[in-house]
Structures are given as C-alpha cells and as structure tokens.
Amino acid sequence: MSAVPPARVRALNDAAVRGTRRYVLYWMQQSQRAQHNPALDYAIQRANDLGKPLLVVFGLTDDYPEANRRHYTFMLEGLRETQEAMQERGVMMVVRHGAPDAVALSYADAAAVLVTDRGYLRHQKRWRRRVADEASCLVTEVEGDVVVPVETVTDKAEYAARTIRPKIHEHLDRFLALPEPASVRIPSMDLEVDDGLVLNNVEAVADQLDLDDSVAPVRALYRGGFSEAEAILESFQQKHLDGYDENRNQVQSSAVSHMSKYLHFGQISPVWLAQQIQETEAPEEDIESYLEELIVRRELAVNHVHFRPDTYDDFACLPEWARETLTDHADDEREHVYTQTELEGSNTHDPYWNAAMKEMRETGYMHNYMRMYWGKKILEWSPDPQTAFEWTLALNNRYFLDGRDPNSYANVAWVFGLHDRGWKERPVYGKVRYMSKGGLERKADPDAYVEKVDRLSAEAQAPSERNRG
C-alpha cells in the first residue's frame, strides 16, 4: 500500500478502520515536518486509499517536561513553516493548545484511521498508549526519526557503540531511502473543524502559553524550521565537511553542522540528512565520521532510553561497575567544590569551563567536545557523584536547544561511565574516564574557543545579527 518500509509501521491497537468517518487523522508530535516524513507519507496514502481527506493535528502543551521559552520559540518557528508547507500540499494542519494525547483524542471520533509518529521518552510513550487505548479507530504508529527502526536493530539495551554498530550496519542500506512524496487526492483545507492557533506571530503564541520565561530565545543565532536547517547544512557542507574527521574535536573551529537541534524537534529527517552527506564529494573518512555520529551514536542513545524506560535519566541507569567505583570514591577529597548556582553562573576557577557554560547558557549550544569536558568537571567539582549527575542533566536540559533528548540522557550518563569501559583508577573518578585541562590544551586551542564564545554571546544579544557559522 505504501512505500514506507513495513518495519517502520506497527498497529498500536486492534480497533477497526471506520470507513464511514470524515477523515484520516495524522497526529503529529515528534516528526514536526512536512517533508521526508514517513508518518505523513503513510497517512496520505491511507487517506488516498480510503477516499478521505487528511487532517493533521499537533497538541501544543505548555507543560512539556523541563521546556522553557527558548525551546518553545524554536519549536513554534518550525511548526509555523510546517503548517504553511502542509497548506501548499492541500492539507489542513491544526496546532491546538492542550495536552497532546487529549488533543489527538478530541479529533479521533471523526477519524477513520489515526496515524502517529514515534517518540521514545516515557511521557511520549504514555501519550501514545492512552490514545491507542481510548481511540475507537485503528491507531498506527510510524517510526521516522531514526534511520534503522529500534527493534530491527536489537531487542535489548546495548553495551556500547561497538556492540550496536554492526547491528545497525547490517540493515543500513535498506533504510537509507525515503519514499516518493505522496500526492494528496482530496484536499482538506475546507474541513470544518476547530482550526486551533494562528502561528503567524511566534512570540504572541508563546505569550499565550504558561511558560518558564527565565531562559531567553536565541533567535539571533538559531531559528527553527526545515529551511533554516537546510541552509545551515549547505554552509557546513561547503565549508567544513571536508576535514570534518580531523577537525570535529577542535573546539575553537566551526566544524560542526548544528543539526542536533533540528533533529531533536523532528524538523529534519535523519535519513534525508544522511543522504545529503553521502551525496557530497567530501573525503570518505569525513563522510563516514559524520554518519557514525548521526546514525550509530545517535541511535545508541535512542536504544538507551527505549530499553531503560524507568532509569534513563537517573544515576541508576549506569552500568554496575561505574556505580560501584563512583560510590567507592564518593567521599574522596575534592580540590574544588562548587554549588549548582556557581556552576550555572560560570563562576569557577577554570576559564575554559566557564566559557563552555557561557556558550550553553547564552547561545543554547556547546561544542560537542566541550560538552564532554564540561560534564567531567561537574563530576569532579560536585559534592558527590549522584548530585553531579542531577546537576549535569538539569543544566543540560535547561539551556540546550537539543536538550531533553535521548542524546541528552545518554551523553550525560556517558560522563559517568555509560557506554564506556573502566580506566585507570584515580581519586573522585574511580575507574570512570578522566578528562583534564592539560589534555584539552594539547588537543585543541581552548583560548581561541573562549574568544569564539565571547563573540557568539555578543551576537546572541543582537537580534538583528544572524550567524550560520
């Protein structure tokens, strides 16, 4: 029926297709885009087969866990573009204020079939379970925000990248393809339904929500939406993909693609992104290095949250050896101990760490290598490892545009030993991997990084300035 691979599709209940109802419903939540979207393509095909119009709905809750105005502004910018693109395809897209599961159910009574995309965090799974349990029509989930479907890869939490890599590569070729966009046979723009919020003015919409306003948007540097992602990616391909493997850990450089924030909000497809990288003329080692991060490392993080649903954001998610060694060294004397407030304000003795925290706080981003150094030092400077874990995750999720993501939970846990092995035992860290200021100075130019952060922070304060570097 559809060019969407069957492994991406699964029924969430055994209700019937209600052929006498008004439309097919696509409840969009994770895949917030109008292109390269398997759930949307599948929903269009179902609507065409049933001779129905397609209605797309998005539930805009103002109490998404740990989200603030920075996150909402970026997301709303993307949703505005997606809604406009849907209209061009003849599809009505409603963005309605309310809990996502309740919004979906409020439109489900008139739906012949309800199609949704897939999320892996516990609240995302809970929303979909409720909709599947309470909807009176067939509910079908389509997985479109990983390259290889998670259960196709493995049926368990993987130990490390080296264990999941061959399992992903076994299936990679058949999933590195996108279906041809389906044409809409019956437009839905004239459907008489509650048409929800008008997204023309993103700030006005955000003002209507009950948001945490303590973290400001960073629109001068980064804006949401597929077209923004496409332009930034084109610049990266032209300027930085050639040499990426050698330069990606050079914290003072701009050899980063900035795609993580767009992937987080589902504004771009990881399959489309992989295709764009593969089609360049960059050296093979640079393409392979990028795809390792995009596919293997990112989908190891998805594996982590999916197969550890109760503990992925807790110290308990760590492997036993890491928990034991950190606990054994919890009472070790620490040369520096800071409060969470001191850390959040960049008030430490380390200028490189302070710059990293400043980049996160004021731009919503941090170079990936500095994220590792940043997290390791929080472990070193906190009263105990459990507190360090909580503080690291809280700061990560508060300020990063790509926070509150499977990558966030896996990357923070990596600081404390997840997906790693034991190393030489030392104070505070035990056998968990250590990172030093001297090592950072040997591998990169952190003084130039400090200067770069100062420049970016100044640009972030100037609304008329834009940075695509």
The average confidence (pLDDT) of the chain is: 96
Residue 2 pLDDT more than 70? no
pLDDT at residue 1, as a whole number: 42
Q: Tell me the chain's radius of gyration from C-alpha atoms.
A: 22
Classify strands 138-142 and 9-11 as parallel, antiparallel or unpaired.
antiparallel
**pLDDT value of residue 179:** 82
| CA 263 to chain CA mean position, Å | 5
- On whether the CB atoms of residues 153 and 164 are closer than 8 A, the answer is yes
pLDDT at 467: 40
Q: Rounded distance, CA 167 to CA 148, Å?
A: 10
Cα–Cα distance between 300 and 297 in angstroms, integer?
Answer: 5
pTM above 0.85, yes or no: yes
Domains of the chain: 1-145 (3.40.50.620), 146-182+225-309 (1.25.40.80), 310-460 (1.10.579.10)
Cα dihedral across residues 113, 117, 119, 123: positive or negative:
negative
Q: Which residue has the tokens 């980063």?
A: 256
pLDDT at 461: 86
Check if the beta carbon of residue 71 is closer than 8 Å to that of residue 401.
Answer: yes
d(CA 157, CA 302): 10
Both tokens of 52, joined, read 């129905």
- Mean pLDDT to the nearest integer, 52-74: 97
Dihedral (Cα; 86, 32, 226, 370), 10-degree rounding: 170
Give me the pLDDT at residue 26, please: 98
pLDDT of residue 185: 97
Give which of 466, 467, 463 is closest to 217, Cα–Cα.
463
Name every residue whose Cβ is closer than 8 Å to that of residue 281 and which is 6 or more positions away in sequence.
Answer: none
> How far is Cα of residue 227 from the mean position of the Cα atoms in its chain?
17
**Lowest mean pLDDT across 175-189, 278-292, 398-412, 442-456:** 175-189
- pLDDT > 50? residue 438: yes
Q: What is the pLDDT of residue 463?
A: 60
What average pLDDT does range 3-31 have in this prediction?
97
Question: Residue 269 class from Cβ within 10 Å (0-12 exposed, 13-18 middle, 19+ buried)?
Answer: buried
Q: State the maximum Cα–Cα separation within the chain, in Å, rounded to a whole number.
A: 71
At residue 468, the pLDDT reads: 37
Give Cα 197 distance to the centre of its chain: 24
Q: What does the DSSP assignment read for 45-92?
A: HHHHHHT--EEEEEEE-S--TT--HHHHHHHHHHHHHHHHHHHHTT-E
Compute the average pLDDT of residues 77-101. 98
- Separation CA 144–CA 141 (nearest Å): 10
Tokens of 370: 């500095």
* Cross-strand pairs, 24: 54
Query: What pLDDT sits at residue 469?
Result: 35
pLDDT in tens, 327-343: 999 999 999 999 999 99
pLDDT at 234 over 70: yes
Neighbours of 307 (CB within 10 A): 16
pLDDT of residue 43: 98
